Amino acid sequence: MNFEKLDGVSEEQLPIAKHNLHGWKHFLGLYAGEHVAATEFVIGATFVALGAKTMDILVGLLIGNILAILSWTLITSPIATQTRLSLYTYLEKIAGKSMTKLYNWANVIIFTVISAAMITVSSTAVRYLFNIPAQLNWYPTNSLFVLVVLAVGAVVVFVAMYGFKAVSEFSGICGPWLFVMFGSGALVIMPALSESVLGTTTLHSFKDFITIGDQSIWTGVNAFGKPGIGLLEVIGFAWAANTITHFGLIDMALLRYAKKPIYGMATSSGMLFGHYLAWISAGIMGAGTAVLVKKSIIALDPGDVAFQALGLSGFVIVIIAGWTTANANLYRAGLAAQAIFTRYSRKQATLAVGLVTMVVACFPFVFSQMLPLLTYAGLLVVPVGAIVFAEHVIFPKIGFSRYWVSFQKLTHSTPAIASWGIGLVFGFGLNTLNVMSFYYLFLPTWVVTIIVYTLLAKRYGADKDYTEEKAAMDKHDKLVEAYHEHQASIASPIVEDTSLLSKTLGTITWISLAVTLGLAFFTMFGSSNMTAYLANREIFYTYGFVCTVIYFTAAYWVLRRQKALQA
């Protein structure tokens, strides 16, 4: 068969081939690494500062994160696995290049801000080493802190430009370690909280934990002494925190590789173990640090919290978690910018966006306001997800044609652009009028955008007959399928590293994690008084850091050996 028609087509413009699909274990690891990040330190402490109650946190975060998992599984994953396309490619097919360019601008803004926040978070660990005061205003108050941010930012930008593939591979091995360190931090800091509330370093029941939570962590009173947020707000934020990726459909780019739609459930590794446990652990670490250093939690930054809970390993977790997350998002921002300014390469576009990101990162408000920033970012792109949902899911059910914009050979979709604009006005209008909690604004915005787009699309010809155009598209799809079958027949098989050395190194990584967690448990349950606690904590600091070094050395060695086999 002749595949010349596809020679000039970018691989990103084609559906993912069957031989490139992944199983559920891949997505468990992917979402575990993606959603245990430096933001968890900020968000966990923010719930404390906002005055949530203990049971609201335990129940609300569970419900909200389950709703997020269901959103990926029922909305994002089916569309991704049926089309095998990224959102960007699918959007161009249904809304034209003008809409895609606007959407890329939105992504540049969103991912630039998120990258800046992660650079700032990583810098809080570095500034601790140089004894630079915590930056608590929206603007920087120390010139040396600015230099630290610029230095950390320069590394992030350079890696995003030239070495992102290596970093993405390395970040994949960070997931298990990050889980262990967040859990260990909460265990290590708990005796200090218990001593301050119960007068003893030892907890005897779950009721003791609730008492400590109510009196010292999630007290129901915010940082200004007023009643805090309630159960509905906690549920709303946990659900809304990732609207950009599930209702907003950006994770079509990841889930298009899933063999089955049900693999959307694999996001539970990120939501339940990542967000749920990490946010709770971060809240405990933040409250415990406030007790130990005798400061308000709003006067602390992630560097303070991580060091008090984890010692030197705390510096590592803040730097790595912020670094890997910033790199991934800056890479996305660079891709979006390059799609707008096609005359420039991705590296040039990433450099330009990176320079802006470094400047923004100098202002601490970008990480101190992560909750509203994430929620508003989601609100910005949810209307786009609604447009895609309407076209892909609703249109076939009501007799409209998918891809009617492509069938009409339009580069500009008035219904899509107008619907997005109306959705934004509606959503942010509700927020201005304070009609409802801004955590839930994405829901009515999504519904209204679907209705508006459906009505406008009908007016512009979505309900017309496109039999000939559909036949031509079916013919093209069969050509792509044959092309993928040809690629699969000539592809090199993946070689797994089953050598004794690699297996031994893998065992060492798990042993180092188990020792770290064991030391944390011993610090919490083996400290009969404050003297014993301080001694046990020092042991954890020392040997926990040794285990960290061993883990990353062994894990990276395994990665390099596996890469060598593929070369």
Give 29-80 pLDDT, tens digit per residue. 778 777 776 677 777 877 888 888 999 999 999 999 999 999 999 999 999 9
Instruction: Decide if 321 contacts 37 (C-beta within 8 A).
Output: yes
Q: Is the pLDDT of residue 299 over 70?
A: no
Strand partners, 53: 219
DSSP letter, residue 264: G
pTM, 2 dp: 0.87
Q: For 337, list phi and psi in degrees, rounded to 5.
A: -65, -40
What's the pLDDT at 297? 66
What is the distance between the alpha carbons of residues 363 and 489, in angstroms, rounded to a whole number?
52
What is the distance between the alpha carbons of residues 285 and 293, in angstroms, rounded to a whole number?
12
What's the pLDDT at 168? 63
DSSP letter, residue 137: S
In the chain, how many H helices and how many E strands? 25, 0
Listed residue (260, 195, 241, 312) closest to 37, CA to CA: 241
Listed residue (129, 119, 126) closest to 38, CA to CA: 119
What is the distance between the alpha carbons of residues 75 and 301, in angstroms, rounded to a whole number?
36
What is the distance between the alpha carbons of residues 414 and 155, in angstroms, rounded to a whole number?
42
Q: How many CA atoms lie within 13 A of 41 on its CB side?
A: 35
Give 416-438 pLDDT, tens digit per residue. 999 999 999 999 999 889 888 88
DSSP letter, residue 50: T
Give 377-419 pLDDT, tens digit per residue. 888 899 999 999 999 999 999 999 999 999 998 888 899 999 9
Instruction: Decide if 229 contacts 52 (C-beta within 8 A).
Output: yes
Q: What are the start-end ranges of the H helices in 438-566?
A: 442-459, 467-490, 500-525, 530-566
- The 10 Å Cβ neighbour count of residue 106 is 18
- What are 192's two structure tokens? 């200090």
How far is the first Cα of the chain from the last one, in angstroms, to the nearest whole number?
Answer: 30
What is the distance between the alpha carbons of residues 447 and 236, in angstroms, rounded to a whole number?
17
Q: Which distant-in-sequence residues (6+ apart) come within 8 Å of 462 by Cβ?
A: 395, 400, 401, 404, 415
Give 166-176 pLDDT, tens digit per residue. 666 666 777 78
Give 233-256 pLDDT, tens digit per residue. 999 989 988 898 899 998 888 898
What is the distance between the alpha carbons of residues 32 and 34, in angstroms, rounded to a whole number?
6
Listed residue (79, 72, 110, 107) closest to 93, CA to CA: 79
What's the pLDDT at 23? 86
- What are 498's two structure tokens? 């089953």
